[in-house]
């Protein structure tokens, strides 16, 4: 899979790509990231990419011409690609969208804006707007890296253990279960005994139960299309949690 990023700060993208899972995957050739400096596609000697907005107002607006020149050159290779404008006005990115892009697209091109935004005519050059959340960032570089990282994890061979990606939060509709490692006890906090038992069937059931607990307590909106077994576990958890709430709320009266 190929990711393309159009930005005025290529060093921001390139720095992140050197490290961790992303860096190792790129070194093994599992995916490619091509970074384009928007200033290379300007036509003036100062490599200017922004100007004052028509109608007045604070800040500067990125010009349409450098983006047009860059996209025209990028598309000259004839490859089918999806050009994405990273914008708070776009479709909300989530794990489902990550899977969609990984399965259906061979090339994704990200347009990273800055300043007060990009000339509205950029909309004629892109296929879709994507947002990573309801907040405003200084530019599109961080959203581009978030999306690349999320999708790259799904590409076969990117992770050392393919099961790791399958068990990530949201992959099966739930949040992840708790994870523990050595030491068995730290500052009075112990690893659950079930994880030390070696009984893989019981461990799997415990993990399923804790994933449901996490989801119920933190993101109940994700609890959809549950199996009969999940419903049984969830009913037990509800009783357990309600009992705990009542116990915590009860204060004995001292005579």
Residue 88 among the catalytic residues: yes
Residue 153 among the catalytic residues: yes
Q: Which of 153, 209, 213, 230 is catalytic?
A: 153
Q: How would you classify the pairing of strands 2-7 and 107-111?
A: parallel
Q: Which of 39, 50, 88, 208 is catalytic?
A: 88
DSSP character at residue 255: -
- What element of type H or E holds 19? none
Residue 119 among the catalytic residues: no
User: CA 126 to CA 205: how far, in whole Å?
Assistant: 46
| Residues 6 or more apart whose Cβ sits within 8 Å of residue 71 | 6, 83, 109, 125
Q: Which of 116, 127, 166, 236 is catalytic?
A: 116
| Residues 6 or more apart whose Cβ sits within 8 Å of residue 25 | 31, 152, 155, 157, 158
Active site residues: 88, 116, 153, 168
């Amino acid at each position: 899979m190929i990711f393309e990023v159009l930005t005025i700060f290529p060093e921001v993208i390139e720095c992140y790509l050197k490290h961790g899972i992303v860096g190792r995957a790129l070194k093994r050739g599992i995916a490619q990231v091509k970074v384009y400096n928007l200033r290379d596609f300007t036509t003036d000697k100062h490599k200017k990419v922004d100007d004052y907005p028509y109608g007045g107002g604070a800040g500067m607006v990125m010009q349409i011409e450098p983006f047009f020149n860059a996209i025209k050159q990028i598309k000259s290779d004839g490859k089918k690609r999806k050009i994405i404008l990273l914008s708070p006005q776009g479709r909300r990115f989530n794990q489902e969208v990550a899977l969609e892009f990984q399965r259906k697209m061979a090339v994704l091109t990200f347009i990273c804006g800055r300043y007060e935004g990009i000339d509205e005519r950029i909309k004629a050059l892109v296929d879709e707007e994507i947002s990573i959340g309801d907040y405003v960032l200084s530019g599109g570089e961080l959203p581009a890296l978030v999306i690349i990282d999320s999708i790259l994890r799904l590409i076969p061979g990117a992770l050392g253990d393919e099961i790791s990606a399958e068990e990530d939060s949201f992959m099966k509709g739930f949040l992840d279960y708790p994870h523990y490692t050595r030491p068995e006890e730290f500052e009075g906090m112990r690893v659950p005994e079930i994880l030390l038992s070696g009984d893989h069937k019981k461990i799997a059931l415990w993990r399923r139960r804790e994933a449901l607990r996490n989801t119920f307590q933190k993101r109940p909106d994700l609890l959809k299309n549950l199996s009969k077994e999940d419903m049984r576990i969830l009913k037990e958890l509800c009783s357990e949690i309600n009992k705990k709430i009542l116990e915590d709320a009860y204060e004995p009266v001292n005579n």
